[in-house]
């Protein structure tokens, strides 16, 4: 029996989580596996109830689970709060407390949705299948920071920090993952300017010696932001730091035109993982039943694969999603087709499994 | 008489500078203005000759000029050098010594080149005309940095630092520029995470009170990387920090499909400015006469406008460039048309003026 801590969060979070749990239930029956699923307060709703975005009870539950499934956090009402009181601070604390340093963000073009990509057809070739491997518990997100009063105003700073061991482990994740894919990594940094990037590059080069079968290139982050648009099919795995990964993974996912479709996994080298859609809490459409639950449903598929070694069950979900799309069912964000709402989309996937 | 320090630099730098000077010469005759033009060593070539990328003689000349015109720097052969010995270090020192804190990078779609954009036609609407206003002498590029030995390896750090005064002056540049354009600014930061971004946002809000006629929005950098692809026509001016501006301006310029066409200006509030194409030194095509000189020629147009108040002369160049393109002349990077080489393209523009 696997223990899953579920954090529905804010905005459309609870709505998409509902559908993901519906699908998980079908998997449980079909594959005869028991999941111990409990929901906990997290994000803005936890601020309202407990005064902090990642309450102790939630933390304890997450630390004692095999996997954490997250909806989305944040909303207008909490935007005025100070840095460490915001829903986003809870997200950072969650990642750090779980120690999930490797954030895997696939940017996949779903064949039936090819026309949704903003790129011209000839650039898409046989589709897009990029995996961004983003370092998630280091860099500027967690380095020393502060704001000081000075003559005439303030001085603020944030520090990008990386140590050898942090770079090593994320590089190893990327190289191991590359072996299961097309054996090609583009490591992205700003080594012409940053000390952290030069250390990053040298460690990645060192690790690559243990993987002579994997092709490694280095690219500057500004060039990568260009190349993703110019010739996206040159990329297989993009390995990069926390802040660069934040930017580049959003860019890459937009290229697929299916941001409502993309899941993510955050891992730490054992079986424990944090799974969440890459989209946000979309407060503007919360409650309208327009949200696309597929990214969260596909996050469950990643959870089955990475945390529970249930590759067949994972594939069953992915195939069902593809079939539902092929048969023309679409939530509002996906463009023309048989329009369905959040629940109907969840029902369809459950039915097709 | 205006004094211009010319830094041809490396790779295709000297080739494109030649054509820009050809055009400047025609302007000088047609508008009866004298330019005192002298070339100085800078970048890799200065490393080879003088052991440093920004020699004292070059610095003195730049500091005593009305404008600096730069080709491009860098190449494979200097990539192995250490941080502060590289051509890029010269570029940073040049920007800093001139104090040119405001980097203006237009991402313009040239109508005759519309089909070169990687984006689908329906996203381009009436073309693209985005101006990235990038802070150029602060942030991570110049903050404290270092690499220390620690147990089991190294620890490296870079510091993003911004003070009130630095943010104020770049914000003022953006708002003043917005008044000459569509009165719309998107300020880009990562205020949900970074202290520097929160200071950035508050100062930009403060300055905006003096410009009630200019519309201001704030956007997170990851979202901006997405929105640029999803709906680029929502942007007019993007105001952002040094590192985010580096990434986003490259992304924005790639959207136009005409990266060989885009100039830039770096200013400091008086008339002095540094002008350069946004493309790099392209060592792979250096010497083949394939380089597109139009970005450098258009940088001269920006120089005439911003440093010499010669708006008519500036427009004469821009119109000539447009006409040359409309008549079908193309360097190799621009796709199908009447193929011309670097010099022929320069000749054509000179002739059309
Ligand atoms: C909400 C924010 C703190 C977060 C991040 O920057 O990591 C988000 O953008 C993401 O990519 O998961
Ligand atoms: C060459 C490099 C140091 C430079 C930068 O990052 O500023 C370049 O990318 C640019 O944008 O002008």
* Residues B26 and B65 reside in one and the same domain: yes
**DSSP symbols for B292-338:** --HHHHHHHHHHHHHTT--HHHHHHHHHHHHHHHHTTEE-GGG-SSE
- Beta strand B263-267 with B35-39 is unpaired
Kindly give the number of the ligand 1 atom that is closest to the alpha carbon of B223: 9
Instruction: Give the C-alpha separation, B254 to B240, whole Å.
Output: 18
Q: pLDDT, tens digit, for every residue of A43-80?
A: 999 999 999 999 999 999 999 999 999 999 988 888 77
Residues of chain A numbered 140-169 and touching chain B (CB < 8 Å): 140-141, 143, 145-147, 150, 152-165, 168
* Residues B139 and B238 reside in one and the same domain: yes
> Using a 6 Å cutoff on CB, does residue B222 contact ligand 1?
yes
Residues of chain B with Cβ-Cβ distance to A230 below 8 Å are 118, 254
Q: pLDDT, tens digit, for every residue of A218-268?
A: 999 999 999 999 999 999 999 999 999 999 999 999 999 888 999 999 999
**Could you tell me how many helices (H) and strands (E) chain B has, helices first?**
12, 14
Instruction: Give the CATH number of the domain where residue B78 resides.
Output: 3.40.718.10
* Contact (CB<8Å) A164/B146: no
A112, part of any domain: no
Residues of chain A with Cβ-Cβ distance to B190 below 8 Å are 243, 246
Share in percent of chain A as helix, strand, coil (round to 5)? 50, 25, 30
Residue B257: what pLDDT? 87
Instruction: Look at the block and give the residue holding tokens 């992915």.
Output: A318
Domain termination residue (choose one: B256, B281, B311): B256
What pTM did the predictor assign? 0.95
Instruction: Look at the block and give the residue holding tokens 């949900």.
Output: B192
* Contact (CB<8Å) B225/A243: no
* Residues A223 and A302 reside in one and the same domain: no
* Contact (CB<8Å) B145/A259: no
> Using a 6 Å cutoff on CB, does residue B193 contact ligand 1?
yes
Domains contained in chain A, number: 2
Q: pLDDT, tens digit, for every residue of B39-61?
A: 999 999 999 999 999 999 999 99
* Residues B122 and B249 reside in one and the same domain: yes
Domain termination residue (choose one: A228, A256, A284): A256
> With 70 as the cut, is the pLDDT of residue A83 above it?
no
* Residues B131 and B246 reside in one and the same domain: yes
A320, part of any domain: yes
* Residues A307 and A337 reside in one and the same domain: yes
B339, part of any domain: yes
Q: Which residue of B has its CA nearest to A81?
A: B192
A155, part of any domain: yes
Residue B83: what pLDDT? 64
Instruction: Give the C-alpha separation, A276 to A266, whole Å.
Output: 9
A113, part of any domain: no
Mean pLDDT of A303-325: 96
* Residues B98 and B124 reside in one and the same domain: no
* Contact (CB<8Å) B118/A229: yes
* Residues B37 and B94 reside in one and the same domain: yes
User: Is B264 marked as a binding-site residue?
Assistant: no
Kindly give the number of the ligand 1 atom that is closest to the alpha carbon of A278: 12
Q: Which of B102, B98, B3 is nearest to B54 (CA)?
A: B98
| Inter-residue contact A85 to A93 (CB < 8 Å) | no
Domain termination residue (choose one: A237, A256, A275): A256
B279, part of any domain: yes
B326, part of any domain: yes
B116 φ/ψ angles, rounded to the nearest 5 degrees: -75, -15
Between the CA atoms of B45, B49, B52 and B57, what dihedral angle is there, to the nearest 10 degrees?
A: -100
Instruction: Give the C-alpha separation, B91 to B108, whole Å.
Output: 24
**Domain range spanning residue A197?**
118-256
* Contact (CB<8Å) B161/A150: no
Side-chain half-sphere CA neighbours of A76 within 13 A = 5
- Beta strand B2-9 with B67-72 is parallel
Q: Burial letters for A263-290: b for 16+ Cβ neighbours within 10 Å, e otherwise?
A: bbbbbbeeebbbbbbbbbbbbebbeebb
Catalytic residue among A10, A189, A236, A246, which? A246
Q: Which of B162, B192, B284 to mutate to test the interface with A (most CBs of A within 10 A)?
A: B192
DSSP one-letter code for B287? T
Strand locations in chain B, DSSP E?
A: 2-9, 35-39, 67-72, 102-108, 129-135, 145-150, 153-163, 184-189, 215-220, 237-240, 263-267, 273-277, 329-330, 338-339
Residue A295: what pLDDT? 97
* Residues B179 and B137 reside in one and the same domain: yes
Residue A219: what pLDDT? 97
Q: Which residue of B has its CA nearest to A156?
A: B196
Question: Which active-site residues of B does the annotation give?
Answer: 141, 190, 222, 246, 250
B86, part of any domain: yes
| Inter-residue contact B153 to B130 (CB < 8 Å) | no
Residue A79: what pLDDT? 75
Q: Is B125 on the interface with A (CB under 8 A)?
A: no
| Inter-residue contact B237 to B133 (CB < 8 Å) | yes
The CA B246 to ligand 2 mean position distance, Å, reads: 7
Q: pLDDT, tens digit, for every residue of B64-92?
A: 999 999 999 988 888 776 666 788 899 99
The CA-CA-CA angle for residues A235, A236, A241, to 5°, reads: 85
Q: Of the ranges A81-85, A336-340, B128-132, which one carries the lowest mean pLDDT score? A: A81-85
* Residues B252 and B266 reside in one and the same domain: no
Q: Is A122 on the interface with B (CB under 8 A)?
A: no
Instruction: Give the C-alpha separation, A309 to A119, whole Å.
Output: 35
Q: Name every residue whose Cβ is closer than 8 Å to that of residue B152 and which is 6 or more positions away in sequence.
A: A164, A165
* Residues A157 and A133 reside in one and the same domain: yes
Residue segments in chain B with a per-residue pLDDT below the cut of 50: none
* Residues A304 and A352 reside in one and the same domain: yes
């Amino acid at each position: 029996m696997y223990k899953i801590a579920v954090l529905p969060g804010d905005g459309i979070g609870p709505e998409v989580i509902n559908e993901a749990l519906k699908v998980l239930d079908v998997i449980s029956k079909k594959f005869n596996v028991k999941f111990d699923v409990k929901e906990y307060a997290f994000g803005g709703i936890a601020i309202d109830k407990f005064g902090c975005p990642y309450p102790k009870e939630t933390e304890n539950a997450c630390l004692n689970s095999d996997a954490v499934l997250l909806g989305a956090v944040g909303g207008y009402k909490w935007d005025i709060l100070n840095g460490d009181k915001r829903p986003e601070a809870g997200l950072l604390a969650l990642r750090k407390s779980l120690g999930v340093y490797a954030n895997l963000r696939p940017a996949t073009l779903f064949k039936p949705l090819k026309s949704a990509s903003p790129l011209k057809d000839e650039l898409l070739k046989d589709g897009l299948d990029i995996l961004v491997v983003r370092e998630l518990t280091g860099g500027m997100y967690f380095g020393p920071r502060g704001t000081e009063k000075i003559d005439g105003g303030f001085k603020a700073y944030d520090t990008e920090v990386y140590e050898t061991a942090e770079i090593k482990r994320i590089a190893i994740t990327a190289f191991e993952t590359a072996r299961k894919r097309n054996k090609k990594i583009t490591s992205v940094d700003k080594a012409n300017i940053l000390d952290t990037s030069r250390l990053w590059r040298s460690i990645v080069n060192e690790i690559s010696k243990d993987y002579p079968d994997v092709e490694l290139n280095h690219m500057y982050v500004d060039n990568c932001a260009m190349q993703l648009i110019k010739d996206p099919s040159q990329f297989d795995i993009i390995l990069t730091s926390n802040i660069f990964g934040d930017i580049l993974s959003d860019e890459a996912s937009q290229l697929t035109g299916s941001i409502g479709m993309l899941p993510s996994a955050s891992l730490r080298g054992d079986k424990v993982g944090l799974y969440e859609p890459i989209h946000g809490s979309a407060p503007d459409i919360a409650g309208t039943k327009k949200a696309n639950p597929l990214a969260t449903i596909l996050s469950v598929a990643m959870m089955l694969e990475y945390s529970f070694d249930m590759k067949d069950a994972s594939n069953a979900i992915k195939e069902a999603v593809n079939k539902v799309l092929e048969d023309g069912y679409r939530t509002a964000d996906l463009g023309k087709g048989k329009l369905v709402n959040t629940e109907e989309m969840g029902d369809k996937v459950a039915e097709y499994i």
